[in-house]
Amino acid sequence: MSDLNYVRVEWDGDLAVVTIDRQDKLNALNGEVIDEIGKVFTDLLVDDDVRGVVLTGAGEKAFVAGADIAELVKMGAVDGVRVSRQGQDVFTAIERFPKPVVAAVGGYALGGGLEVALACHVRIASDNARFGLPEVGLGIIPGYGGTIRLARLVGLGRAVEMTLTGDPIRADRAEVLGLVSRVVSRAELLDEAKAFARRITRHGPVAVRAALESIYRGVDTSLNEALAFESSLFGLLASTEDMKEGMTAFLERRDAEFKGR
Ligand code: COA
């Protein structure tokens, strides 16, 4: 992964830790940062050694303090659509990533920062995290999927409240709303996010991938279509070695050794 200025990738066993690192601007997302996030996930997609991803921001103060306002202020209507689509495409690629993606959110997750966290499959926060969508106060709306994904996660009422007031919420409130799965101290954040990712990656990757596909496709389609798709995946999994291994291991009272096929 060469030619990256704002995104770092480190490996910890079979996990890739992706760090957005633009600390002087609280990791704000300009076009280049979003482009680099997209490239990194494209590379990780085909890397069979990677079983899961932790996405985080560099520094103590912010996960990501939003899209880069200094860049946005210059845009016209045509740029606006392009900028929004670029962010939506990259964040949707994260949501549709076939391996678990856990966001480790320390400090501010505002605007685009909350939107990228929403696209991750699981969110772990530190107690200094603050979540908010301040866009309306800047004369825009969340344009990287925030008006859609927040409502799907926490319900319409809470999403409308957060989007229209722009007021950030604290980590403990985010946990109550189901926006984050766990709140830990800043010092524990990365280890806790990795441990959470490993709770998923210890399972067979084919089943994990199928579960992600069924859940996210299910949100987008009618109940009938979603149930039919779920059944197809269920049938497909019955043909895998991983299913035989998982069930045999249970019956033999031992840990399963999944091969991913
Ligand atoms: N876009 C561009 N630059 C940003 C930014 C953003 N979203 N968020 C922070 N920065 C920059 C600041 O301009 C400042 O740069 P400078 O030192 O060159 O002047 C630097 O990051 C530090 O931010 P600062 O505002 O000085 O830190 P703070 O601790 O006083 O406040 C925040 C922190 C997060 C409350 C504040 O930076 C903020 O409100 N940011 C914008 C949040 C937002 O509206 N996001 C949605 C954008 S669509």
40 and 54, same structural domain? yes
Do 110 and 182 reside in the same domain of the chain?
yes
> Which residues line ligand 1 at a C-beta cut-off of 6 Å?
25-26, 28, 65-70, 108, 110-111, 134-135, 138
135-169 burial, b at 16+ Cβ within 10 Å, e below that, comes to beeeebebbbbbbebbbeebeeebbeebbeeeebb
Q: Could you tell me if residue 261 is inside a domain? A: no
Distance from the alpha carbon of residue 24 to the mean position of ligand 1, in angstroms: 9
- 161, 185, 201 - which closes a domain: 201
- Rounded CA-CA distance 110/187 in Å is 21
User: What's the mean pLDDT in 141-162?
Assistant: 98
- 240 within a domain of the structure (yes/no): yes
Pairing verdict, β 15-20 and 7-12: antiparallel
Q: Which pLDDT band, with edges at 50, 70 and 90, does 208 fall under?
A: very high
Are 23 and 144 contained in the same domain?
yes
**For position 57, which CATH number holds?**
3.90.226.10
Specify whether the CB–CB gap between 40 and 3 falls below 8 A: no
Q: Closest Cα to atom 36, ligand 1: which residue?
A: 65
Same domain for 130 and 174, yes or no, is yes
Helices (H) and strands (E) in the chain, counts: 11, 10
Q: What is the pLDDT of residue 23?
A: 98
Q: How far is the CA of 157 from the centre of ligand 1 (A)?
A: 28
Q: Which domain holds residue 221?
A: 205-251
Q: Closest residue (by CA) to atom 4 of ligand 1?
A: 25
Reported as a pLDDT band with limits 50, 70 and 90, residue 130 is very high
| Co-location of 144 and 209 in the same domain | no
Q: pLDDT (tens digit, 9 = 90+) per residue, 82-98?
A: 999 999 999 999 999 99
236 found inside a domain? yes
Nearest-CA residue for atom 26 of ligand 1: 25
Query: What does the DSSP assignment read for 196-221?
Result: HHHHHHTS-HHHHHHHHHHHHHHHHS
Question: How many domains does the chain contain in total?
Answer: 2
Extract the runs of DSSP E, i.e. beta strands, from 106-214. 108-110, 122-126, 130-132, 169-170, 182-184
What is the band of 2 on the pLDDT scale with cuts at 50, 70, 90? low
- Which residues are catalytic, by number? 115, 135
- Mean pLDDT score, 149-177: 98
User: What is the spatial distance between Cα 163 and Cα 186, in angstroms, rounded to a whole number?
Assistant: 26
Q: How confident is the model at residue 118 (pLDDT cuts 50, 70, 90)?
A: very high
- Average the pLDDT over 116-136 and give the result: 98
**Residue whose entry in the numeric block shows the structure tokens 């994904």:** 149
The encoded tokens of residue 231 equal 């059944």
**Residue in the structure block whose two tokens are 């999994």:** 237
Ligand 1: which of 25, 116, 133 to mutate, most ligand atoms within 8 Å of CB?
Answer: 25
What number of residues does the chain have? 261
Q: Are residues 219 and 116 in the same domain?
A: no
Beta carbons within 10 angstroms of residue 4's beta carbon = 16
User: Do 232 and 127 reside in the same domain of the chain?
Assistant: no
Domain boundary among 167, 186, 201: 201
Query: pLDDT tens-digit profile of 22-67?
Result: 999 999 999 999 999 999 999 999 999 999 999 999 999 999 999 9
d(CA 174, CA 131): 7
Say whether both 51 and 66 belong to one domain. Answer: yes
Residue 166 sits in the same domain as residue 246: no
Q: Are 54 and 193 in contact (CB under 8 A)?
A: yes
72-80: average pLDDT? 93
Task: Tell me, yes or no, whether 159 and 73 share the same domain.
Answer: yes
Tokens 């990287």 — which residue?
144
Residues 89 and 211 in one domain: no
Q: What percent of the chain has pLDDT above 90?
A: 98
Q: Which atom number of ligand 1 is nearest to the Cα of residue 133? A: 46
Q: Model confidence over 175-187: pLDDT tens digits?
A: 999 999 999 999 9
- Note whether residue 259 is domain-resident: no
Question: Does the structure show a pLDDT above 90 at 1?
Answer: no
Kindly give the distance from the C-alpha atom of residue 211 to the centroid of ligand 1, in angstroms, as a whole number: 37
Same domain? 150 vs 183:
yes
The rounded Å distance from CA 43 to ligand 1 centre is 30
Give 230's contacts (C-beta < 8 A, 6+ positions apart): 214, 218
Between residues 123 and 204, the one the model is more confident about: 123
In a domain, 20, yes or no: yes
Domain of 218, CATH number, reads 1.10.12.10
Q: For the whole prediction, is pTM greater than 0.85?
A: yes
